[in-house]
Amino acid sequence: MKINLLVEEFFDKELGGYGGYGMLAREYIAEYIPNEEIELETFLERSKNPREMILDEKKIVSYIPKPSLFNPLKLQKYLDNKKIDIYLSIECQRIVYEVFKYEKRKKLILWIQDPRPQDDWEKIRSLNGDEYESYINYYSKNEEKINNLIADLIKENRLVVITQGKYLVDKAKRLYKLPEDINIEFVPNPVKIPDFDVDLKPETNIITFLGRLSNVKRPWIFFEMARKLPQYEFYVCGVGHESYQEKYKDVKNLKFFGHINGEKKNEILENTQILVNTSVHEAIPISFLEALSYGASIVSCQKPDNITEMFGEYVGVVNGEGMDSVNAFAEAVERLMTDKKQLYENRKNGRKYICEVHSIEKFTNDLRKIITENVK
C-alpha cells in the first residue's frame, strides 16, 4: 500500500525549513513507518514543476506545483498516476486543502499536533505580530473552506483523526468544528530514547532552555532567572540567541550555545537537571520528551497532559511578557534543586513514562495499524 505524507516542510532549509512538523515528518514518519507492506512518499507544494528526489537514500519527496501555476486537470492526473491509497497530514495545512480539492476517493488521516483556536492566537498575538499575521493571511481567510472540507470528509467517512495529546482534543474540535462524538485515537509523538541509566546521571547544577528564542517562547524570563540564581549554570540552546548575548553579557552563569543537535545536544541533556519552558503557547514540546528521556525534571507555565506536574513543577498561568513570573520560576527551580529525593523520583518516573508511552516501537506499531485498517 502507498501512503502520501502531506506537509509544508521537511526539516531542510530548501524544503520548507527546520520546524517541528518537518522534524516529525522526516525523522520519524518517513524514517520508521515504511516497511515491506507500506510505501511512503512526501508531497511538498512549491512554485516549481513536478519533480521527485530521494533523500537519506530512501525518503521519496515530490514537489507538486501550486495550483495557480498548474492546470488542475493535469494535477488530478498526476495524483491518479501516483496510485496513492491513503493520505496522512500533520494538521490541516494548505497543501491538504489543495490536494483534496481533486482527491475524491481516498481517506485522510489527520494528525492533531498543535491546533490553535482563536483564543490561542490571541495569546500569540500579544507577543508576536508576525506569527499572528500568518493566521490572518491563511487560517482566518480559509477557515470556512477548511471546515467545509473536514465536514465533507466526515460525511463521506473519509476522515480519520488522531492526536499526539489528549488535552488537544477540545482545541481540535473547536478549530475544525468537529462533532462532539467523533472518535479520535491517541497516537503520542515518538522520541529517540537514549541508552541511558538514570542512576548514573551526573549531579550537575545545569538548568536548560531548549527551543528557538522567539517572543512566543519568552526567553527573557529564563535569562532573568539566571540573574536571581547565580549558583546554577543556565544553558540557552536555540536559534535567535545573537540579539540577546550582548544584552545579557553581564550574567556570567548564562551560556548561549545556539542551535544544537546530535552529540552536543545529547551531552547537554545528559547533564541537565531541569528543563525550563517559559512559552506563552505550547502543544506537547518534543523538548519535554527529550529531557525526560535523559532524566531531567520540567519547570513550566504549560502543563500538556499534566506532564509538568507529574515530573516537575507547574508555576501556573503566565500571561503577556511574563516578567512578573520570574520569581515563581526561580523558586520552583530552587525547590527542586534542593530536594534531591524529588529530583530522583522525577528522573526515574519520567524516564519510565517516556519508555512506556513515547517509544519509537509503540509509535510505529500504532500508526502502521491505523494506516492498514483504513486502506481498503
Please state, in angstroms and as integers, the Cα–Cα distance from residue 350 to each residue in 129, 232, 372, following that order. Answer: 36, 22, 32
Could you read off the pLDDT of 194-243 as tens digits, one per residue? Answer: 999 999 999 999 999 998 898 889 999 999 999 999 999 999 998 887 78
Domain 198-357 has CATH 3.90.226.10: no
Residue 240: per-residue pLDDT: 80
Which DSSP symbol is given to 68?
Answer: G
Q: Can you spell out the DSSP letters for 182-235?
A: --EEE-PPP-------GGG-----EEEEES---GGG-HHHHHHHHHH-TTSEEE
Per-residue pLDDT reduced to its tens digit, 277-333: 999 999 999 999 999 999 999 999 999 999 999 999 999 999 889 999 999 999 999
Cβ proximity of 41 and 62 under 8 Å: yes
Using CA atoms, how far apart are residues 162 and 366, in angstroms rounded to an integer? 11
The CATH class for the domain spanning 2-190+360-373 reads alpha beta
The residue among 305, 308, 286 whose CA lies nearest residue 297 is 308
pLDDT above 90 coverage of the chain, percent: 63
User: For the sheet containing 107-112, what is the strand order?
Assistant: 51-55, 59-65, 39-46, 2-6, 86-90, 107-112, 159-163, 184-186
**For 14-54, how does the pLDDT look when each residue is reduced to its tens digit (9 = 90+)?**
666 667 788 888 889 999 999 999 999 888 776 555 566 67
Cβ contact 5:29 at 8 Å: yes
The pLDDT value given to residue 214: 86
With a CB cutoff of 8 Å and minimum separation 6, the contacts of 234 are 207, 208, 209, 222, 223, 225, 226, 251, 253, 254, 255
- The share of the chain scoring above pLDDT 70, in percent, equals 89
**pTM metric for this prediction:** 0.89
- Would you state the pLDDT for residue 59? 74
Q: How far apart are CA 29 and CA 263, in angstroms?
A: 22
**Delimiting residues of CATH 3.40.50.2000 domain(s) in the chain:** 2-190+360-373, 198-357
Question: Would you state the cell numbers that stand for residue 127, as one nine-digit string?
Answer: 507577543
